């Protein structure tokens, strides 16, 4: 009988610069069990709801995670607007979709680079992050911030973008897309990449459903669910399809994110061509009273927002269920039975964000 040993994976390790800690139970080179430990960077952000004006709390929501900040801010504002009966202007909703998809491209391209780094493809990592910089330049030009966009407020958005400025961005975005397609062909076709990804980290459709997997982790196992189909912001007026795969492995999760990139670019082009004219904010009167629950799609998967107000400027409760937290059980399942050398790749394939997970 093989001798068992326990080795720590993290909280400081070369896979990602965030403190995800796993205790790996090994038999020789095989992982028989993975025990996650969370809580290294708990910041108490939800508690701040009791001390911050509900209008100012949008800045706290945006800082739950830097990479997903735009969508966190939109999710919080949309949930509070639903609670207070505030009708967000149509143009503001289209701008939210524009920045949301720009944020999704930024996140996926960042992830592609980190994923390449996890299996030792350094040049692919550098090229991915080189293109990420161009996306951040566009975010800075339109929203004002490169990572923390700071563009959303309750009742609309903080700034408008002129139609001619949006159209001027079209050629730059198409140039980035062309270069990105060339890089992604390596992920799709390179034999060495396929050897590291195909058949690794298997998660069946049934397991993904029972474990509550979300986002590309679930869609790569054949679950066709994307919270954007609920139609918030301008997503109900844009033409797009839910991207899925049925390989149920790390390669499938990579391909889902690659195809979502092209879908996001297409939605941005639709916004540029079809955005309606009008105001970008409305005045918000009164204070939140009651409770509201909202579901939204981050790059990593579905995020759930819950807010509860008591008629004062401070929320009584502010709760966020992030996609990384939802995908941890799936990660633990995928790690069981894998080789030790496959742990970094499987860990990265769920696109973990510990900052999100440990609010």
In a domain, 17, yes or no: no
Low-confidence stretches of the chain (pLDDT beneath 50) = none
Predicted pLDDT of residue 1: 58
Centre a 10 Å sphere on the Cβ of residue 30 and count the other Cβ atoms it contains: 13
On whether residue 331 sits in a domain, the answer given is: yes
7 within domain boundaries: no
User: Which domain CATH number covers 297?
Assistant: 1.10.645.10
**pLDDT at res. 8:** 84
Asked whether residue 59 is assigned to any structural domain, the reply reads yes
The answer to whether position 105 is within a domain reads yes
Q: Which of 131, 351, 73, 74 has its CA nearest to residue 219?
A: 351
Between helix 90-118 and helix 122-143 the angle, nearest 10°, is: 160
Residue 291 lies in a domain: yes
Q: Which domain does 271 fall in, by range?
A: 40-357
> Which tokens sit at 339?
């080789």
When divided into structural domains, the chain yields a total of 1
The encoded tokens of residue 61 equal 């929501």
Distances (CA, A) of 308 to 54, 270, 284: 11, 35, 17
- Residue 277: its pLDDT value, please? 94
215 found inside a domain: yes
Question: What is the reported pLDDT for 12?
Answer: 66
82-124 pLDDT, tens digit each: 999 999 999 999 999 999 999 999 999 999 988 888 777 888 8
- How far from chain centre, in Å, is Cα 160? 24
Instruction: Examine residue 214 and state whether it is found in any structural domain, yes or no.
Output: yes
Q: Note the pLDDT of residue 239.
A: 93
């Amino acid at each position: 009988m093989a001798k068992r040993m326990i080795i720590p994976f993290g909280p400081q390790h070369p896979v990602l610069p965030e403190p995800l800690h796993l205790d790996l139970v090994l038999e020789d080179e095989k992982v028989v069990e993975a025990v996650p430990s969370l809580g290294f960077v708990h910041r108490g952000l939800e508690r701040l709801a009791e001390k911050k004006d509900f209008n100012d709390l949008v800045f706290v929501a945006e800082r739950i995670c830097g990479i997903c900040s735009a969508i966190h801010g939109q999710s919080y504002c949309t949930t509070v607007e639903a609670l207070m009966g505030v009708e967000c202007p149509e143009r503001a909703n289209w701008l939210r979709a524009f920045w949301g998809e720009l944020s999704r491209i930024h996140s996926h391209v960042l992830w592609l680079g980190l994923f390449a780094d996890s299996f030792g493809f350094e040049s692919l990592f550098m090229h991915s992050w080189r293109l990420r910089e161009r996306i951040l330049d566009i975010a800075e030009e339109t929203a004002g911030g490169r990572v923390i966009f700071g563009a959303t407020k309750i009742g609309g958005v903080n700034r408008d973008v002129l139609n001619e400025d949006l159209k001027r961005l079209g050629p730059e975005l198409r140039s980035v897309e062309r270069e990105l397609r060339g890089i992604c062909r390596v992920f799709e076709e390179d034999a060495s990449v396929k050897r590291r990804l195909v058949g690794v980290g298997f998660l069946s459709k049934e397991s993904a459903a029972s474990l509550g997997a979300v986002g590309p982790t679930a869609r790569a196992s054949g679950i066709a669910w994307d919270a954007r189909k609920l139609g918030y912001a301008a997503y109900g007026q844009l033409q797009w399809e839910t991207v899925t795969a049925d390989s149920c492995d790390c390669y499938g999760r990579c391909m889902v994110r690659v195809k979502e990139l092209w879908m996001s670019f297409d939605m941005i082009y639709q916004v540029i061509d079809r955005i309606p004219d009008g105001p970008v904010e409305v005045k918000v009167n009164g204070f939140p009273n009651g409770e509201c629950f909202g579901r939204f799609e981050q790059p990593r998967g579905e995020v759930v927002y819950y807010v509860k107000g008591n008629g004062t400027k401070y929320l009584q409760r502010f709760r966020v269920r992030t996609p990384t937290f939802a995908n941890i059980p799936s990660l633990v399942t995928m790690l069981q039975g894998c080789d030790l050398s496959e742990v970094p790749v499987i860990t990265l394939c769920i696109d973990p964000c510990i900052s999100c997970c440990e609010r």
